[in-house]
């Protein structure tokens, strides 16, 4: 064999060897794939997903499926290049930078703890949203999360203050406070009744003008605790994050009302939920739709802010129904079940 041929042979072998070794090197990416779905009207591990005690409930049929995304990879268990390449070639999965799921300043354990906390929060918000939709009274402990610098509330309201009333109006949710402040004009005095260190006091604050000319005081709020008139328990096993909020709300609402919200069909969907019933955007919409279709769903409740992305990735046979609020989702499901009325569609913009 000539020296040139030998050199080419050795070089080819080295390139092949490096390629094989390189294919198994860990890379900072995460593969997202369709995860399992759970029927919020059904059971998980032989226990009801939603249990309501202290209030009359009604039988349900069909399915209201929450959808999930599974991930492979992460700082402590990185995928190799070959796995990433396979993912890039599979239209049902997504390969994203590791930092999308695991922020650089958080450990994998901290991310899991945050997801668990968000799941708990979404369950409380879902119960609040369902009761709000059904006009069942409840209360919440709304506290000050912080104030904006150089805004009227700075120095007058403190983190941890519990808001009891605004201008004499009982604080039920965060929206109660927002609505009451916005009912004023810039320059008006807004009187907050708060509890601080166990003592009740009134705090008058002169409202400033917001970006749109509305009154604002520059305070951020959070809900510390809900006081519901009965108990709602949600069991979903090893599922985290806030994106099942809408489907929890629908499941609770269906159990609390006579009739079949699903019309006996398999309905899937996703979206965060606020106590007032606003539906928010989520991640992994493409993978969640594939999981929904694989589970037999024909209708997919889609957050309005995810509609554009969903339209480009929807699998065949899955109807996308736009959901901006819980009320809109309920109205749409009623229309689908009865065959009467309009159904908001992502395609309609």
107 HSE (CA, 13 A, CB side): 3
User: Does 158 qualify as catalytic in the annotation?
Assistant: no
**Cα separation values, 164 from 139, 158, 168, 171, 191, Å:** 10, 14, 9, 5, 11
Structure tokens given for 313: 């990735």
Say if CB 344 and CB 332 are below 8 A apart: yes
Q: b/e string for 22-59 if b means 16 or more Cβ within 10 A?
A: eeeeebebbbbbbbbbbbbbeebeeebbbebeeeebee
Helices 326-338 and 245-256, packing angle to 10 deg: 60
Tell me how far apart the alpha carbons of residues 62 and 75 are, in angstroms, rounded to a whole number: 40
Single out the catalytic residue among 255, 265, 288, 322: 288
Single out the catalytic residue among 243, 249, 255, 322: 243
Tell me how far apart the alpha carbons of residues 4 and 7 are, in angstroms, rounded to a whole number: 5
User: Does 345 qualify as catalytic in the annotation?
Assistant: no
Say if CB 166 and CB 178 are below 8 A apart: no
Say if CB 262 and CB 10 are below 8 A apart: no
Residue ranges of E strands in 122-261: 139-147, 162-166, 169-170, 189-196, 199-206, 208-209, 215-216, 219-227, 231-234
The residues carrying an active-site annotation are: 243, 288
């Amino acid at each position: 064999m000539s020296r040139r041929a030998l050199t080419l042979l050795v070089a080819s072998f080295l390139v092949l060897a490096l390629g094989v070794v390189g294919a198994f090197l860990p890379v900072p990416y995460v593969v997202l794939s369709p995860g399992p779905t759970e029927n919020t009207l059904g059971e998980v591990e032989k226990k009801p997903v939603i249990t309501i005690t202290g209030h009359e409930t009604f039988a349900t049929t069909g399915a209201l499926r929450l959808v999930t995304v599974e991930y492979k990879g992460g700082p402590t268990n990185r995928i190799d290049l070959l796995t990433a390449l396979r993912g890039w070639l599979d239209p049902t999965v997504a390969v994203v930078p590791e930092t999308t799921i695991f922020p650089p300043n958080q450990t994998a354990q901290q991310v899991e703890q945050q997801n668990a906390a968000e799941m708990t929060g979404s369950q409380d918000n879902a119960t609040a949203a369902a009761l709000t939709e059904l006009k069942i009274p409840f209360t919440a402990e709304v506290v000050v999360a912080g104030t904006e610098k150089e805004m009227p509330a700075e120095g007058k309201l403190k983190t941890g203050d519990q808001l009891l009333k605004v201008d004499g109006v009982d604080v039920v949710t965060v929206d109660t406070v927002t609505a009451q402040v916005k009912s004023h004009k810039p320059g008006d005095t807004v009187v907050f009744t708060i509890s601080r260190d166990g003592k009740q006091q009134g705090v008058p604050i002169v409202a400033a003008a917001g970006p749109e000319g509305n009154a604002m005081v520059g305070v951020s709020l959070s809900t510390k605790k809900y006081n519901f008139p009965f108990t709602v328990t949600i069991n979903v096993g090893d599922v985290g994050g806030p994106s099942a909020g809408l489907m929890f709300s629908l499941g609770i609402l269906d159990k609390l009302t006579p009739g079949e919200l699903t019309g006996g069909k398999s309905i899937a969907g996703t979206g965060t939920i606020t106590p007032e019933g606003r539906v928010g955007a989520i991640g992994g919409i493409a993978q969640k739709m594939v999981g929904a279709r694989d589970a037999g769903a024909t209708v997919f409740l889609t957050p309005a802010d995810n509609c554009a992305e969903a339209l480009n990735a929807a699998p065949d046979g899955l109807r996308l129904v736009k959901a901006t609020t819980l009320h809109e989702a309920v109205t749409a499901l009623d229309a689908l079940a009865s065959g009467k009325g309009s159904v908001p569609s992502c395609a309609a913009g």
